[in-house]
Structure 1
Amino acid sequence: MVNPKPHLVPSRSAKRANYDPEVINSILDEALYCTISYSYENKPFAIPTAFVRYEDRIYIHGSVGSHFIRELEKGIPVCISVTLMDDLVVAKSAFHHSVNYRSVVIFAQAEKIEDPETKTEAFKWLTDKIVPGSWDYLRPIQAREVLKTTALAFKIDEASAKIRTGMPVDDDEDLELSIWSGLIPLQTRRMSPLADSLSQAIPLPPHLQHL
């Protein structure tokens, strides 16, 4: 994006912005949840929800009776945000403490997916993102379940990433202070599965053995 629209340019540290679709997609593909913000009756709402990216769109789903979903399917403007936290940045002063992060902001409107086959595909993409390899292992989804669920797509047209990496940036006069500074890495990962009471005797399926 050579000349990004003004609302895609950060007001602070604009040099950290990135408009490369590959960079944006890589962040979206790693994140499990996004926050969708919108206005309803002059009140702001920000709803966290699971999502998946497929090609040039992200997809969410929800109950056909969900007020949140029914409002979005009208095609109202929304702002979708995603943040991955990589490190706590510990400086020699509290003023320069920071965070290494990768974030994406998308401005879009929802497209309601009406075709049952496309809806089912969207549910498969999302299920396999949250628990990789699980869709084919599970009891097949039923037509009535598809009917009870709404799938919404948002085109990734107006999007920007913002990224901070690296060590703390302290003031020159603080560099020689005998105060520890550096990074505290953060990590979000899938741990070993825990069986519920009905699955104690069921072997752990292959797709859960190497999360």
Structure 2
Amino acid sequence: MVDERLQVRGYPQRARYDLEFAAQVLDAGRMGHLAMTRDGYPHLVPMMYVRIEDSVHIHCRAKTPLATDLESGTRIAFAVTIVDGIVLANEVRFHSMNYRSLVVHGIATPVADESAKRSSFNALAAHVWPGRAGLTPATTEQLASVALFSLPLVEFSGKQRTGPPLAGITPPLPDVWAGHVDLEEIPAEFHSAHESPAAPEPIWPF
């Protein structure tokens, strides 16, 4: 039985609560949004992340307000959404997106071990672009400047929409196209930060 706090109430038939789906969404995404409350105000921080087994690893600069909040054991939510397509209907109210989304709740615990941090950052580099792990090994000083946290995949809920638009009550309009358009993320153009031997090879699929 899924905890009431985690249950998806809007279109509950689209809900997913299994670890396999959670891992799929996390592995497909690159950016997540971390949400928390500080001094009575909501805070939302976009950030990169990487999945390490059954946890999400997130990081920030050490000794910042965000690091202090996470170290204090504040409860957070971390969300990732993958847009798979655009849904176009005859009526604007039935326009939508095909997507996979995941929201993880819990308390992130610090990862202090230097070897574990190094392994996590190598995994993050490979997640951003496969083949980048270990190109420039971090020094002890560089690792110390970053706070790393692990958020377990225990309290979470996912949601997925696929397929065409919902049927409206009005008849189809002959001059208006309705359906759904699949989207793909592909590399476009490479812009070198400095003189380098060659641009990295595209990795498929994204």
Question: Which range moved further: 67-76 or 39-48?
Answer: 67-76
Provide structure 1 residue ranges, at least 5 long, that are not aligned to the other structure. Answer: none
In structure 1, the residue matched to 2:155 is: 158
How far is 1:185 from its partner? 2.8
Aligned counterpart, 2:180: 183
What's the TM-score, normalizing by structure 1?
Answer: 0.90
Match of 1:9 among 7, 10, 16: 7
- 1:159 Cα shift? 1.1
Per-residue deviation, residues 99-153 of structure 1 (Å, max 9, x unmatched): 11100011110100111111111111111111211123x2221111011111100
Specify which of 197, 202, 205 is matched with residue 210 of structure 1. 202
Is 2:69 aligned against 1:79? no
Partners in 1 of 2:32 and 2:150 — Cα distance?
A: 13
Question: C-alpha separation between the residues in 2 aligned to 1:173 and 1:189?
Answer: 37
Measure how far apart 1:69 and its partner are: 2.1
Q: Percent identity?
A: 26
Letter in 1 for 2:110: K
Match of 1:39 in 2: 37
**Counterpart in 2 of 1:142?**
139
Alignment: residue pair count: 202
Which of residues 106, 125, 128 is equivalent to 1:127? 125
Amino acid in structure 2 at the alignment position of 1:168: P
TM-score with structure 2 length normalisation?
0.92
Alignment of 1:89-128 (within 5 A): 89-128=87-126
- Does the 8 A contact of 1:82 with 1:103 survive in 2? yes
Deviations 1:150-204 (A, max 9, x none): 11000000111100000011225424x31210123333333343212x31xx322
For the residue of structure 2 that corresponds to 1:132, the secondary structure is coil
Alignment partner of 1:193 is 2:185: no
Q: Are the equivalent residues in 2 in contact too, given 1:105–1:159 (CA < 8 A)?
A: yes
Write the distance in 1 (CA, Å) between the matches of 2:168 and 2:153. Answer: 39
Q: What amino acid maps onto 1:107 in structure 2?
A: H
Report the equivalent of 2:20.
22
Q: Which residue type is aligned with residue 201 of structure 2?
A: Q
Q: What residue is the counterpart of 1:61 in the other structure? A: 59
State whether residues 38 and 45 of structure 1, in contact with CA within 8 Å, keep that contact through their aligned partners in structure 2: yes
